[in-house]
Structure 1
Amino acid sequence: MRWILAMILATALLLLAAFETPARAEDDVRIQEEIWALPLPLPMFAYLVRPVGDGPFPLVIMNHGVSLNPTDRSFFPLVEFRDAAKWFARRGYLVVAPVGSGYGAAAIDIPERGVYGPFFSKVGKCTNPNFHDAGLAVAQVDLWIIDYMAAERRIIPKDVIVVGQSAGGWASIALASVNPPLVKAIITFAAGRGGRVGGKPNNNCAPDRLVEATADFGRTARVPMLWIYIENDTFFGPELSKRMHAAFTAAGGRAEYHLMPPFGNEGHFFIGSPDAIPLWSPLVAKFIDAQR
Structure 2
Amino acid sequence: MRLVNTIALLPLLVLLTAPPLCAQGAFGPSEEEGEPLRRQAWRVPSSDGDLAARALLFRPPGPGPFRLAVIAHASTQNALRRAQMPPPEYRPLAAYLVARGFAVLVPERLGHGATGGRYVEDQGGCDEADYARSGRATADAISLALGYLREQDFVRKDAAIVIGHSAGGWGALALSNADPKAISAITVFAPGRGGHANDEPNQVCAPHTLLAAAAEFGKAARIPVTWLVAVNDSYFAPAFSQKLADAFRGSGGKAEFRSLPAVGSEGHWMIESEAGVKAAGSELARALNENRPAAIKKPRDNR
TM-score normalised by the chain length of structure 2 = 0.82
Which runs of 5 or more residues in structure 2 are unaligned? 1-10, 12-29, 293-303
Work out the CA distance in 2 between the residues paired with 1:241 and 1:34.
35
Alignment match of 1:60 (pick from 49, 60, 69): 69
Looking at structure 2, the residues matched to 172 and 122 of structure 1 have their Cα atoms a distance apart, in angstroms, of 16
Q: Which residue among 92, 102, 115 is the counterpart of 1:83?
A: 92
1:100 lines up with 2:109 in the alignment? yes
CA distance in 2, matches of 1:169, 1:77: 19
| Shift, 1:193, TM fit | 0.5
Is the aligned partner of 1:35 residue 2:41?
yes
Given the alignment of the two structures, is residue 158 of structure 1 paired with residue 158 of structure 2, yes or no?
yes
User: What residue identity is the alignment partner of 1:32?
Assistant: R
Shift in Å, 1:162 = 0.2
CA contact (8 A) 2:67 2:160 kept: yes
Contact kept? 1:179, 1:221, Cα under 8 Å: no
What is the TM-score normalised by the length of structure 1? 0.85
Render the CA deviation track for 1:38-72: whole Å, top value 9, x for unaligned.
Answer: 14443200011011222221000000011222221
* Partners of 1:40 and 1:148 within 8 A in 2: no
Tell me, in whole angstroms, the C-alpha distance in 1 between the residues paired with 2:150 and 2:84. 31
Structure 1 residues 125 and 40 mapped into 2: Cα distance closer, same or farther (>3 Å)?
closer
Gaps of 5+ in 1: 2-10, 21-30, 108-116
Alignment of 1:97-246 (within 5 A): 97-107=106-116, 117-179=117-179, 181-246=181-246
Alpha-carbon deviation of 1:180? Answer: 5.4
Which shifted more, 186-195 or 273-282? 273-282
Q: Between the two proteins, what is the percent identity of the paired residues? A: 33
CA drift at 1:286: 1.5
Query: Partner of 2:282 in structure 1?
Result: 282
Q: Distance in 2 between matches of 1:81 and 1:173?
A: 19
Match of 1:266 in 2: 266
1:200-242 per-residue CA deviation (whole Å, 9 max, x = no partner) reads 0111011111111101111110201100011111110122111
Structure 1 stretches of 4+ with a deviation exceeding 3 A read: 39-42, 178-181
RMSD of the alignment, in Å? 1.8
Q: Deviations over 1:10-44 (max 9, x none)?
A: x88x82xx343xxxxxxxxxx21111011444320
Distance 1:180 1:56 in 2: 19
Which amino acid is the alignment partner of residue 171 of structure 2? A
CA shift digits 1:70-95 (9 cap, x unpaired): 22112211143111112111111011
Question: How many residue pairs are counted as aligned between the two chains?
Answer: 261
For the pair shown, the structure with the greater C-alpha radius of gyration is 2
In 1, distance between residues paired with 2:211 and 2:250? 12
Deviation of residue 154 (structure 1)? 3.1
Partners of 2:46 and 2:53 within 8 A in 1: yes
User: Going by fraction, where is strand more abundant, 1 or 2?
Assistant: 1
